[in-house]
């Protein structure tokens, strides 16, 4: 949550770059913001859940502690070096070390998973998510080679970044959260149709692997790439429809088991997942793909929609369910207000440039001020839980 608060503060700083002169390097802060968000907040949140649920019985607390400390050294190293130098020697060293930390936690999970979990569908999803985590690292490894040979202007530079982001967002994040969701149902004694589970698992993985082609449409590749991307997007729609059919009659059980605020966040995440799938589907068509490339706010809005609206809301709900944090009502209200208003402005800007709508004068000021609600809400979450920990101590 400390990293989450730092990410929110850096996000506000990035927004104020467009309002007033700031004697810092925008790209350097952006790198620090994105790395801390993905690796400091989401990564630690997911690995904490995985350890608590599946690995705490493995009786390897010291080894896990070593992995945890090493991971945080890497994150703090990136947090300090990226704002100072951007992609340079020391930030690259810490980024590379973090890749080894992710391999270490993946190995630790695969090796020490208790036998009673090995045949569970929830663990199958978690294991696949960890494989996507490792697979996504091909992107960062490729960036070094591309920078050294072809330079940052090469199409392979952006492709490497998008490859990494795709398998983080759509592979590691989503499948890990689905694994936790199925664990909750399994612990309630719910048994699913094995054939339906197999169908869902194949469809979602097919979708993850083929929607990677949507990440390269910006450089106008051959038509076959658009077709592959469309097939992947359709597979993901079918996968989540299959998931809905699997879970719909069990929603009342989930509602009874989880706190109202956490369940409310899950409903929001589910609704936004539908929107995400629709946006992915349309992005497989050349006109929309080209539009997204020309108007970067569509991409920024989409990434924040997935990150803030789907991944973070679900993660918070699950952390609350497993009693790892509490969700103050004021946090939920202010956070959702910040999300809805800033997303509306980001997408409005993109649509305004697309269809020539009026673009109001104080847009960037409004966006920056509304973005201040994020650190306010996360501060409430952080300090509220910090007080609880101190009280218990």
pLDDT tens-digit series, residues 181-223: 999 999 999 999 999 999 999 999 999 999 999 999 888 899 9
Q: Rounded to an integer, what distance in angstroms lies between the CA atom of residue 128 and that of residue 175? A: 7
Contacts of residues 197-204 at CB distance under 8 Å and 24 or more positions apart, as own/partner, are: 197/121, 197/246, 199/242, 200/239, 200/242, 200/243, 200/246, 201/121, 201/124, 201/125, 201/128, 203/235, 203/236, 203/238, 203/239, 203/242, 204/175, 204/178, 204/235, 204/236, 204/239, 204/240, 204/243
pLDDT at 393: 61
pTM for this entry: 0.95
The DSSP result for 332-379, as a single string, is HHHHHHHHHHHHHHHHHHHHHHHHT----TTHHHHHHHHHTHHHHHHH
Q: Are 82 and 91 in contact (CB under 8 A)?
A: yes
pLDDT digits (tens, 9 = 90+) for 260-316: 999 999 999 999 999 999 999 999 999 999 998 889 999 999 999 999 999 999 999
Could you tell me which of 247, 238, 232 has the C-alpha nearest to residue 199? 238
Residue 80 CB neighbours (<10 A): 14
Q: For residue 146, what pLDDT band results from cuts at 50, 70 and 90?
A: confident
How distant is the alpha carbon of residue 17 from its chain centre? 24
How confident is the model over 82-126, as pLDDT tens digits?
A: 999 998 889 999 999 999 999 999 999 999 999 999 999 999 999
At which residue do the structure tokens 């996000």 appear? 11
Helices (H), 86-173: 89-112, 121-136, 138-149, 155-166
Give the CA angle between residues 81, 83, 87 to the nearest 5°.
65
Length of the chain (residues): 393
């Amino acid at each position: 949550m400390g990293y989450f608060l730092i990410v929110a503060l850096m996000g506000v700083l990035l927004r104020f770059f467009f309002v007033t002169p700031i004697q810092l390097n925008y790209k350097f802060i952006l790198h620090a913001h994105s790395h801390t968000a993905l690796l400091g907040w989401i990564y630690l949140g997911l690995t904490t859940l995985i350890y608590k649920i599946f690995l705490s019985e493995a009786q390897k607390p010291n080894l896990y502690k070593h992995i945890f400390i090493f991971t945080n050294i890497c994150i703090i190293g990136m947090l300090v070096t990226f704002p100072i130098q951007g992609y340079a020697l020391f930030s690259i060293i810490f980024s590379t070390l973090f890749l080894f930390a992710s391999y270490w936690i993946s190995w630790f999970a695969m090796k020490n998973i208790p036998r009673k979990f090995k045949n569970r569908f929830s663990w199958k999803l978690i294991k696949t998510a960890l494989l996507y985590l490792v697979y996504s690292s091909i992107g960062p490894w490729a960036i070094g080679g591309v920078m050294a040979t072809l330079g940052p202007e090469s199409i392979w530079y952006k492709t490497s970044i998008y490859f990494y982001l795709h398998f983080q967002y759509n592979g590691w994040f989503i499948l890990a959260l689905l694994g936790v969701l199925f664990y909750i149902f399994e612990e309630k004694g719910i048994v699913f149709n094995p054939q339906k589970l197999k169908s869902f698992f194949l469809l979602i993985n097919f979708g993850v692997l083929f929607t990677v082609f949507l990440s390269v449409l910006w450089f106008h590749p051959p038509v076959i790439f658009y077709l592959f991307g469309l097939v992947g997007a359709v597979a993901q729609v079918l996968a989540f429809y299959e998931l809905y059919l699997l879970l719909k009659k069990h929603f009342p059980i989930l509602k009874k088991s989880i706190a109202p605020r956490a369940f409310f966040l899950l409903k929001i995440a589910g609704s936004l997942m539908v929107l995400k799938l629709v946006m992915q589907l349309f992005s497989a068509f050349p006109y929309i793909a080209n539009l997204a490339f020309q108007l970067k706010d569509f991409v920024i809005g989409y990434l924040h929609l997935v990150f803030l609206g789907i991944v973070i809301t679900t993660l918070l709900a699950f952390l609350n369910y497993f009693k790892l944090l509490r969700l103050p009502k004021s946090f939920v209200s202010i956070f959702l207000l910040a999300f809805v208003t800033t997303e509306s402005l980001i997408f409005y800007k993109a649509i305004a440039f697309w269809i020539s709508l009026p673009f109001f004068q104080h847009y960037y000021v409004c966006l920056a001020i509304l973005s201040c609600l994020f650190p306010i809400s996360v501060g409430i979450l952080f300090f509220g839980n910090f007080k609880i920990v101190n009280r218990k101590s």
